[in-house]
Structure 1
Amino acid sequence: MRLIRLLKYDLARETGDWVDDGVISEAQAELICARYEVDYHRAQRRSLGYNVLVGLGYLFIALALITLIGANWEEIPRALRMGGLVALTVGTQCAALRVYLKGDPRAGEGLFLLGSFFFGASIILIAQIYHLGEHMPDGIFWWALGCLPFALITRSPWLALQSGALALLWFILQVSMGYYPMLFPLFIAASLYVLLRGRTSVTLLLLLLVSIGFWVEYSLLQFWRIQQPDAGLEFQPENLAVAISLFAMLYLFGHWLALKNTPVAKDYAAVISVWCLRFALISLLVFSFAQPWESLIKAEWDHRLSMWVVVTALAAVTLFLALTTRRLLSTGILFLCFAAALITVSTSENQDLAVNLQVATNFALVGVGGWLIYRGIHDGISHYFFLGVMSILITGLLRYIDLIGDYLGAALIFILFAGLLLGAAKYWKYHQDRGDTP
């Protein structure tokens, strides 16, 4: 999948400059935009800066009113305070609904956002009036829940982002206090509905994926706490295995999504692919040291059976997606390597194995870097090429600072790096001589 899909609106606006300069005709610009499923004429009118400025303007109006009310809070009678807060919130939302139904949805969404900020401020101030601060996350929950109907009615990504971000904050606060938030899937379902039925939003997609990840991991912790009541909601080593399996499944889901013919699916697939790849490289860099492996070997693996059940279920879904995207062999090999490493750290108490696992991780980094360089040159994807080169350079720098095992092992790694980069250069020159270098 081409990463240029993430910049397609910038490309569409750039073609407008080409048309103005006489480089291409308007018909050619329309064809270029059509290749990436973008409306050329609509893209020229698209203004992210305008929407951001309007949104920030509404935000500062809300902050100004909240500050003004707060400065004179004690002088205002209690009944007037209560009635004023309710009237301000209800009035703003009614005005937003009126503007929205009159055919100006973007302005209506902005007013809905403003009304939701007033709603949150009202919850905080009313709680202060009646001294209702016993469990602070409850206020954030009601704020998120109050934003939810407007996000569903308008199917606005901005309103869904507001509700989803507040819900995620409520979720994190609840679990940090030892409580499990049962209603969090409601907000996940609402975000998914808006994502499927509303406008395209990469930010909402990423928020939804993060929310699902947190919910799955903490649901496992809650299940383990039921089995072991003295355990809290702190992350266990088994959570890491589940997280890696989730990212593997998500990466293959992105490739499956890329096979769809809709432009939205292809855009989301590109986003998922890029972020999963970055997660994989960061994880490999972290585990290119011996200390993380030693910590995992020392850790208490008290939930092996349930961990393996979840990992196996996720692996089955991943292999099915790999079969549909013709990546079964490579995915199967990667899962076998992952299973071997997981069995080693969860069953062995031999600390000396940490160095062996560290060396294997560094060779895996070399392999991933080489694969990215190959993909970058062969498929003309500059992001992959530079990401592969960067991963090899960072690995080389880390290994120079922290020598693996002995000097002979480090020298072998450096020779391997040199051979890989020189081979990539030769492959580049081969394509250049053929005239198809990206």
Structure 2
Amino acid sequence: MILLNKNFLANELAKWRNEGLIDRVTSEKIAARYDIDLQNIGDKKNFILKLVAYLFLALSLITLVGANWEEMPRYVRLLIIISILAFVNLSALFMLKKGRESTAISLFFLGNFCYGIAIVLIAQIYHLGEHMPNGVLLWAVGAFVLSISTKKSILITQSLAIALLWFIMDIELRVSHEFLIFIAISFYMLLKDESKALTVMLFISIFVYIICNMANLSSFEFSQFMWYITINQIVLIGLSYSLFGISLSLVAQKFNKIKIAVALRWISLITGIAILLFAMSFISHRNYDYIDLNNSLAFYGRIYGVLHIVFATFSLIILAQFKRYYVAILALFLLILPFGVGYFFEYSNAIYSILSVITGAVLIKQDYFKLGLSTIFIVANVRYFDLIGDYIGASLLFLLFAVIVLVVSRNKKAIKNES
């Protein structure tokens, strides 16, 4: 159940209890079924509002100080920076000792932003260094030290986002493999304190790291065709990575890591569908007049090709273990997809379109009805406008789409009749 629906149900359960429609035990059982914390639902809203308020407070301070910044002496500027940092963090510690945890975390969250601003301002005052990513790295390290000491996942999420910013900024010079240290720390803290936000940030960070390494290995200083090949490889690894994320969500659910499982499943689904729709819309042979079919298997021999096989194979094993056979079919498709795209390069957009429709049908089969149906309709619309004029090709493609959806519909009906 998505967050908005959970909030709605939590509010409705409170109303039903007040009206006497259900008792406390019944409401708690319903809440437990959908992983809703009735005790803390109000606290979460207040916590989010506090975070927003403190962000506006930070912007207010920046604007106020910035208006007269250049006119102040250096020592006054440095004193202001240190005073703000000390005030925010000491206030957070005071609130933590008083037992007001949500307020303390909000202040620590603000303190991390103030720390980053302080680094920039001090560097500006004393003209320190010209390589900006070094300052962001210092910001990330300081934020992680504070976050680890508090052991709160929301602060770890913020710190990992800062580290990701440093990694992206530093990519112009090199791929900073030290970023894996931040990922490892975040993963360890996630196991200690479950968080949907941290799960999503970890998924994005690992994906960005993989893609940047692929780009570094392939180098974008190739011809236009080689640039296309690199994008195609990113699509392939992105699809297998997304399916692997879905598979791991089943493992997390088995070990009762519900928040991790829910967040991982949804971010993996959204990422995979987005990549598929991108591939079927923008990857096409029509703009290229050269192809070397002898290299169609070269993808499997490279390090990211091996990673693609590992992701798809482990996904297949896990999905089969959990008896998700329809999703396991997608893992099989992904294993042979590089071979198919290599030998039928001129039909690559059609291949991705068919795979998108199959994915949509599987989503419907797994009770993600709206998401699956939306995927199929997007594919149909894109292909309709793309194939205007080629009526035979469009007709055959839509006929294939219809067969796929009808097969799924028939199977769902058969299951209902059996039950």
The interval holding the TM-score normalised by the smaller chain is 0.7 to 0.9
Answer whether contact 2:245 2:268 (CA < 8 A) is retained: yes
CA drift of 1:52 comes to: 2.4
State the Cα distance separating 1:39 from its structure 2 match.
4.3
Counterpart of 1:276 in structure 2 is 268
Match of 2:29 in 1: 31
Distance in 2, matches of 1:118 and 1:375, equals 45
Q: Is the 8 A contact 1:251 1:276 kept in 2?
A: yes
Alignment equivalent of 2:207, drawn from 209, 213, 216:
213
Offset of 1:138 from its aligned partner? 1.5
1:119 matched to 2:111: no
Match of 2:309 among 309, 312, 321: 312
Structure 2 CA distance for partners of 1:311 and 1:18, relative to 1, 3 Å: same
- What pairs with 1:254-273 in structure 2 (closer than 5 Å)? 254-260=249-255, 262=256, 265-273=257-265
Match of 1:371 in 2: 362
- Distance of aligned partners of 1:108 and 1:285 in 2 relative to their CA distance in 1, 3 Å threshold: closer
Q: Residue 158 of structure 1 corresponds to which residue in structure 2?
A: 154
- In the other structure, the counterpart of 1:399 is 383
Name the residue aligned to 1:252.
Answer: 247
Q: Which residue in the other structure is 2:9 paired with?
A: 11
Paired residue type of 2:369: F
One-letter code aligned to 2:273: L
CA contact (8 A) 2:247 2:319 kept: yes
Tell whether the 8 Å contact from 2:47 to 2:103 is kept in structure 1 after alignment: no
| CA positional deviation for 1:173 | 1.0
Offset, 1:246: 1.6
The aligned residue for residue 87 of structure 1 is: 83
- Residue deviations 1:198-232 (CA, integer Å, cap 9, x gap): 2x43222111110111123334455667xx9xx99
Report how far residue 16 of structure 1 moved.
0.7
Q: Which amino acid aligns with 1:305?
A: R
TM-score normalised by length of structure 2: 0.83
Answer yes or no: is the 8 Å Cα contact 2:380–2:398 preserved in 1.
Answer: yes
Paired-residue identity, %: 31
Provide the secondary structure at the position in 2 that maps to 1:292: coil
CA apart distance, 1:140: 1.5
What is the Cα deviation at residue 267 of structure 1? 3.1
1:130 is matched with which residue: 104, 126, 129? 126
Contact preservation (8 Å) 2:313, 2:331: no
Contact 1:5 1:36 in 2 (8 A): no
Q: Secondary structure at the match of 2:387?
A: coil
Alignment pair present for 1:203 and 2:200:
no
Distance in 2 (alpha carbons) for counterparts of 1:425 and 1:314: 29
Matched residues in 2 for 1:270 and 1:49: separation?
Answer: 20
Residue 192 (structure 1) aligns with:
187
Residue in structure 2 matched with residue 380 of structure 1 by the alignment: none
Q: Secondary structure at the match of 1:287?
A: helix
What residue number does 2:51 align with? 55
Secondary structure of the residue that 1:161 maps to in structure 2? Answer: helix
Gap change, CA 1:356 and 1:91, over 3 Å in 2: closer
Instruction: Select between 188-197 and 163-172 the one with higher mean Cα deviation.
Output: 188-197
- Larger deviation: 76-85 or 275-284? 275-284
Q: Is the 8 A contact 2:276 2:356 kept in 1?
A: yes
Cα distance in 2, alignment partners of residues 246 and 306 from structure 1: 14
CA distance in 2, matches of 1:94, 1:319: 51
Partner of 2:234: 239
1:330: Cα distance to partner?
5.6
Find 1:75's aligned residue among 71, 75, 99: 71
Query: What does 1:412-431 align with in structure 2 at a 5 Å threshold?
Result: 412-417=396-401
2: distance between equivalents of 1:306 and 1:325? 29
2:96 aligns to what SS in structure 1? helix
Cα deviation, 1:246-278, whole Å, max 9, x if unaligned, reads 222212111222223x2xx23322332233233
- Secondary structure at the residue paired with 1:392? helix
Residues 243 and 315 in structure 2, CA contact (< 8 A), matched pair in contact too: yes
Q: Distance in 2 between matches of 1:289 and 1:118?
A: 43
One-letter code aligned to 1:268: I
Matched length: 408
Mark the CA change 1:153 to 1:254 in structure 2 (over 3 Å): closer, same or farther.
same
Matched position secondary structure for 1:288:
helix
CA pair 317-294 structure 1, distance change in 2 beyond 3 A: farther
- Structure 2 CA distance for partners of 1:236 and 1:31, relative to 1, 3 Å: closer
**Distance in 1 between the 2:232 and 2:357 partners?**
26
Compute the TM-score of the two structures, normalised by the length of structure 1.
0.80
Q: Between 291-300 and 320-329, report the one with greater CA deviation.
A: 291-300
Where relative contact order (Cα < 8 A, 6+ residues apart) is larger, the structure is: 1
Partner of residue 279, structure 2: 287
Structure 1: which 5+ residue stretches go unaligned?
A: 377-383
Q: Say which is worse superposed, 315-324 or 423-432, in terms of deviation.
A: 423-432
Structure 2 Cα separation of the partners of residues 205 and 109 of structure 1: 19
Give 1:28 deviation, angstroms. 1.7
